[in-house]
Structure 1
Amino acid sequence: MQIPFHRPYITDEEINEVIDSLKKGWITMGKKTIDFESKFKDYIGSKNAIAVNSCTAGLHLALRAIGLKEGDEVIVPATTFVATAEVVNYFKAKPVLIDIEKDTHLIDASKIEEKITPKTKVIIPVHFSGQPADMDEILEIAKKYNLYFIEDAAHALPAWYKDKKIGTIGDLTAFSFYATKTLATGEGGMVTTEKDEWAEKIRILRLHGISKDAWKRYSKEGSWEYDVIENGYKYNTTDINSALGLAQLNKLEWMWKEREKIANLYNKAFTGCEELILYKVKEDRISSWHLYPLKLNIEALKIDRNQFIEELKNRGVGTSVHFIPLYRFSYYKNHFNYKVEDFLNSEWIFERVISLPIFPGMNLEEINYVIENVIDIVKKYKR
């Protein structure tokens, strides 16, 4: 049996929405994008939702909206996808890395305050695997030091923190619609915010700083004339991507429930196995279960994490690792004075973590095959 790490859940609904865009002849950003933004905004419960072509673009525009400048500092978790810190580098600002918690892989809120300096302007927590970060604690720190709070919610659709939906808590929130995400449009993202001024700035910046988007210019009421009022970017999404987004949004909570079922089956199967360390979700929040991170008790095994992955690969089970800590990459080693000893939890997790397949459409036979092979490898290589 061959089980990929991820398989997007695409049905005739998505296909028909895309075909509808093609037949109507409008394939760049237009009416479907406007509809997608509106329905996404209503689902999240935010005042504004602005569609972009990636979560990375969303984070970049969010930092631009709040006025990040060269020399500023931005707090991010040490273990995250590179985009979280990459966007900080765009401004020649400095990403300040904070270690993560061993059990949740979330930024350790207790370690943030000691890294704040007069140059600190923003905190960007990452809702790892779909579990919200410690929002109350981080918000309190942000308020105390007058810092902006931008959420990297690439994994967290849908997710809830103390009955509040992610996308309504921080100053700005960026979501990802990449091919493997919980809502997949191939490439894409969305920014939510309650502040109209920031929303309007992001709308202008996402399309070259032009005062009117193409849909308005080429509509019956539009005009070819426009002004460039900001130095912007080519960050808009398209109606083809938004067509996928509209169809995916209709089944978003069903897909979440499917992932949750898989996570529960994994948890039940692996509980009590001393060679495996289960991922913890805190009681006051609900995860989207974008990822299922499983840690190996490598002291109890004769093989390491990489060998474990190869064993699963040889048996037809696709896996991944989330994530390689930022300070391990050559660019970050060469440009910043990070010290491995400052990130002991990140190191400990990185040596042990594997992400198992978890996606809607994964049938019981496939789920059981993953479970059986994980347990069989554990038994085979138990010390």
Structure 2
Amino acid sequence: MLGENSLAIHGGKPVRETSLPYGRQWIDNDDIQEVVNVLKSDFLTTGPIITKFEKGLAEYVNAKYAVAFSSGTAALHGACFAAGIKEGDEVITTPITFAASANSILYQGASPVFADIDENTYNIDPNRIKSLITNQTKAIIPVDFTGQPANLDEINSFARENNLIVIEDAAHALGAVYKNKKIGSISDMTMFSLHPVKNITSGEGGVITTNNKEYYEKLLDFRSHGITRNLSKLKNNHGPWYYEMQFLGYNYRLTDFQAALGFSQLQKIDEFIEKRQKYVEIYNEAFSKVSQIEMPFQSSECQSSWHLYVIKLKAELLNGTRKAVFEALQKENIGVNVHYIPVYYHPYYQGLGYKKGICPKAESLYENIITIPLFPAMSMKDVKDVIFAVNKVISHFSK
């Protein structure tokens, strides 16, 4: 936690007296009451609110099915299982993402293949995907980084041509729109995260949406130990109590009180995104005058859900490094972060044989980006404080 006595640039007072986080949930009394209602009910887990939440989210994104999981990572793991990913397979994904995108591939015994990014969108480059497809390629996991949809037309086209499955990591992108279609209705399977800093939260949690009934049924069983009660699937039937474990699944279920929070938050998703977009417009206007930074890409064909606002430093115009700028913003009590460390930089992946240099554009991006605060619960004063602090720090380090 940043202290109130942090020394700002030149030893003066920081822009803020207390720390502003880069992201934070917004929980109101309606959310709390929905959770309390479940706590007073007969079901705390695996009850009717799970189905209510899943149906509501599926309807919101115009998908046929939704399956809730205990985390976004668990949901991605379930999607990889449903896709039939196994040992010996390769799955192409981006290095500019949280480790879970690639970890879910490893959980199934398959190998992540990292494709470099587009320099404008920071999303996976479809041309790099095309060059990396082999006979072992089973699936593609594009990531809608910061809430900006990846190039889904090209990605899905490559997938169809090569009989591949697309598992879209839309952890950042609930509420985003790609060419007039809601994210969650386009790819074979789409994952949304319900972590507290995401666009809506259930505390922890994740959801897979799909239009494929076979995937849907596999996902349902996978999150509950591979167990089914579906009479049409049973190998035997000892009576009305009977159920069967038909494959090795996991306990990845979401609780009812988490689902209650998620459903309550879902009713406010458009309001949350509207606030994010408003603050983005203010940031864009302010930072368009700052030559030392590059603002996030905005597509004319898509609507980002603006989970994150990432600025890219133009190193050639600054005396300081990203680290120096980052630490200076911290001293101004502005909560900043970096999204993301390229996945294959992590020691575990280095131990698997991945080498630095395989995605030069992603690596260059990592050296120069900073995530600044963006969340609906921010006040206008918070937004102005961020702008003032960024301008102050950039001015200090400018050549």
TM-score clears 0.5: yes
SS at match of 2:228: coil
SS at match of 1:190: strand
State the shift of 1:226 in Å.
Answer: 2.0
State the shift of 1:194 in Å.
Answer: 0.7
Counterpart CA distance in 2 for 1:17 and 1:197 is: 32
Question: Equivalent of 1:366, from 382, 387, 395?
Answer: 382
State the shift of 1:79 in Å.
Answer: 1.4
1:56 aligns with 2:70: no
Residue aligning to 1:346: 362
Counterpart CA distance in 1 for 2:390 and 2:42 is: 49
Counterpart CA distance in 2 for 1:192 and 1:290 is: 19
State the shift of 1:346 in Å.
Answer: 0.8
Structure 2 stretches lacking a partner, 5+ long:
1-15, 231-238
Structure 2 counterpart of 1:163, which letter? Answer: N
Counterpart CA distance in 1 for 2:97 and 2:382 is: 28
Question: Equivalent of 1:175, from 170, 173, 192?
Answer: 192
1:376 aligns with 2:368: no
Match runs of 1:225-374 below 5 Å:
225-340=242-357, 342-374=358-390
Q: Provide, for residues 7-36 of structure 1, a one-character-per-residue CA deviation record: whole Å limited to 9, x for no partner.
A: 211000110001001111421121111110
Residue aligning to 1:135: 152
Counterpart CA distance in 1 for 2:354 and 2:384 is: 45
State the shift of 1:141 in Å.
Answer: 0.8
Q: Provide, for residues 9-68 of structure 1, a one-character-per-residue CA deviation record: whole Å limited to 9, x for no partner.
A: 100011000100111142112111111011111111111011111111111111111211
Structure 1 counterpart of 2:388, which letter? Answer: E
Residue aligning to 1:150: 167
SS at match of 1:24: coil
Match runs of 1:66-85 below 5 Å:
66-85=83-102
Structure 1 counterpart of 2:391, which letter? Answer: I
Structure 1 counterpart of 2:287, which letter? Answer: F
State the shift of 1:224 in Å.
Answer: 4.0
Structure 1 counterpart of 2:300, which letter? Answer: E
Structure 2 counterpart of 1:348, which letter? Answer: S
SS at match of 2:92: strand
State the shift of 1:85 in Å.
Answer: 0.4
Instruction: Number of aligned residue pairs: give it.
Output: 374
SS at match of 2:59: helix
State the shift of 1:206 in Å.
Answer: 0.4
Structure 2 counterpart of 1:374, which letter? Answer: V
Counterpart CA distance in 2 for 1:8 and 1:212 is: 37
Structure 1 counterpart of 2:27, which letter? Answer: I
Residue aligning to 1:122: 139
Match runs of 1:85-100 below 5 Å:
85-100=102-117
Q: Provide, for residues 176-202 of structure 1, a one-character-per-residue CA deviation record: whole Å limited to 9, x for no partner.
A: 001111011110011111111110111
Residue aligning to 1:217: none
Counterpart CA distance in 1 for 2:241 and 2:382 is: 55
Counterpart CA distance in 2 for 1:140 and 1:300 is: 40
Question: Equivalent of 1:102, from 109, 113, 119?
Answer: 119
SS at match of 1:112: helix
Counterpart CA distance in 1 for 2:244 and 2:307 is: 41
Residue aligning to 1:219: none
Counterpart CA distance in 2 for 1:178 and 1:278 is: 25
Q: What is the Cα-based RMSD across aligned positions, in Å?
A: 1.3
Counterpart CA distance in 2 for 1:194 and 1:284 is: 23
Q: Provide, for residues 262-287 of structure 1, a one-character-per-residue CA deviation record: whole Å limited to 9, x for no partner.
A: 11111110003111111112211110
Q: Provide, for residues 196-216 of structure 1, a one-character-per-residue CA deviation record: whole Å limited to 9, x for no partner.
A: 111011101101112149xxx
Question: Equivalent of 1:36, from 53, 60, 66?
Answer: 53
Counterpart CA distance in 2 for 1:101 and 1:304 is: 23
Q: TM-score, normalised by structure 1?
A: 0.95
Counterpart CA distance in 1 for 2:397 and 2:244 is: 66
Q: Which moved more, 1:18-27 or 1:316-325?
A: 18-27
SS at match of 1:92: coil
Q: For the Cα contact (< 8 Å) 2:25–2:200, is it kept in 1?
A: no
State the shift of 1:229 in Å.
Answer: 2.0
SS at match of 1:122: strand
Counterpart CA distance in 1 for 2:41 and 2:55 is: 20
State the shift of 1:108 in Å.
Answer: 0.7
Q: Provide, for residues 351-381 of structure 1, a one-character-per-residue CA deviation record: whole Å limited to 9, x for no partner.
A: 1101111000211111000000100111111
Structure 1 stretches lacking a partner, 5+ long:
214-221
Counterpart CA distance in 2 for 1:242 and 1:78 is: 31
State the shift of 1:103 in Å.
Answer: 2.0
Structure 1 counterpart of 2:364, which letter? Answer: W
Q: Provide, for residues 88-123 of structure 1, a one-character-per-residue CA deviation record: whole Å limited to 9, x for no partner.
A: 111221100001122211001111111111000101
Counterpart CA distance in 2 for 1:226 and 1:114 is: 46
